[in-house]
Amino acid sequence: MVEMMYREALRRALDEEMQRDPLVFLMGETIAERGGSYKVTEGLWQKYGSRRVIDTPIAEASFTGMAVGAALVGCRPVVEILFVDFAMLVMDQIVNQAAKIEFISGGQGKVPMVLRTQGGAGNGLAAQHSQSLEALFYHIPGLKLVMPATPADACGLLKSAIRDDDPVIFIEHKLLYMTRGPVPEEEFLIPLGKAEIKRPGRDATLITYSHMTLKCLEAAAFLEKEGIRVEVIDLRTLAPLDTETLLDSVRRTGRAVVVHEACKRGGVGGDIAAMLMEQAYDDLDGPVLRIAGRNTPIPYNLKIERACVPSVEEIVAGVLSIL
């Protein structure tokens, strides 16, 4: 294993896939000479040139549409959208085109592209640059949705996403780029649609993803000091959803808490809670609890911003409330 930052793990995945397949190329704003605003693509323009690491104008709809067309004729584009908030500009290209072409063409057309973007709060970037919008993409048949929490998962899942024949939305949390973790030295892939038990337990199941995985692990460590062993499941891939791992865990622990940063109303947690109630009702010792962001735009003030997303203390209190 080698220790590296989350952003370095993403860069390694892009580099390895570009070496492996000459049809993989990158598109986005300031990703070439500058290396991207989050330095994920740093050094790739120097290595692969401007035909494969393409700086685009500030025209998300245009270059995302170009990527859909390139994927249709056999390329594997990786598009970077600076903030997930700006993905609103490409919903027609992604939702009405990329997600549906294979279906409406009877399988004759495929769109093997990845749309990388980042979301979440934490840096005082205010309401238009701090949203968690994964539920919009989770709702759309034909799209795959990946939200890794650790450097190893970021690397292995991005490689799998690039090789996948379906369009993949790959959302990275802005607070994760500088986090560190062990990554296998040898090349590796992590399959899409497979959750991971990050911490085994017996008393309750915490179901989460992205940056909230770190908070749930911290909450679980605190609870263990009180004699409460909580199982933490990192979904990693939201679509397809690994229901088998979730159901197996909840049937063992009898209690479930779903945690995400996005607003509670219409969030992914509501769908997961409904699935557990439908398929594991007789195994549950109480209702599934949701801990989520407030139903409000994210404010600029850092202190108020922190109050709008789940905290470790809130997760601990939630687990205690259902025991």
DSSP assignment string, 48-61? H-TTTEEE--S-HH
* Claim to verify: residue 242 and residue 276 sit in the same structural domain: yes
Output the domain CATH number for residue 300.
3.40.50.920
Q: How confident is the model at residue 45 (pLDDT cuts 50, 70, 90)?
A: very high
The pLDDT value given to residue 67: 98
* Claim to verify: residue 8 and residue 125 sit in the same structural domain: yes
* Claim to verify: residue 234 and residue 91 sit in the same structural domain: no
Query: How many distinct structural domains can be found in the chain?
Result: 2
What's the DSSP call for residue 93?
Answer: I
- Against a cut of 0.85, is the pTM above it? yes
Assigned domain for 190 exists: no
* Claim to verify: residue 174 and residue 208 sit in the same structural domain: no
* Claim to verify: residue 178 and residue 56 sit in the same structural domain: yes
* Claim to verify: residue 179 and residue 211 sit in the same structural domain: no
> Is 129 one of the annotated active-site residues of the chain?
yes
pLDDT digits (tens, 9 = 90+) for 277-299: 999 999 999 999 999 999 999 99
12-38: b (≥16 Cβ within 10 Å) or e? bbbebbbeeeebbbbbbbebbeebbbb
Residue type, 87: A
Distance CA 199, CA 149 (A): 14
Pair 174, 123: CB distance under 8 Å:
yes
Pair 12, 155: CB distance under 8 Å:
yes
Q: Of 130, 158, 183, which marks where a domain is finished?
A: 183
Q: Which of 127, 189, 154 is nearest to 38 (CA)?
A: 154
pLDDT digits (tens, 9 = 90+) for 180-211: 999 999 999 999 999 999 999 999 999 999 99
* Claim to verify: residue 110 and residue 178 sit in the same structural domain: yes
Domain extent at residue 152:
2-183
Among 8, 29, 80, 129, which one carries the catalytic annotation? 129
Among 17, 29, 60, 196, which one carries the catalytic annotation? 60
The pLDDT value given to residue 182: 98
* Claim to verify: residue 135 and residue 17 sit in the same structural domain: yes
* Claim to verify: residue 170 and residue 270 sit in the same structural domain: no
* Claim to verify: residue 126 and residue 271 sit in the same structural domain: no
> Is 173 one of the annotated active-site residues of the chain?
no
Distance CA 29, CA 63 (A): 10
Assigned domain for 16 exists: yes
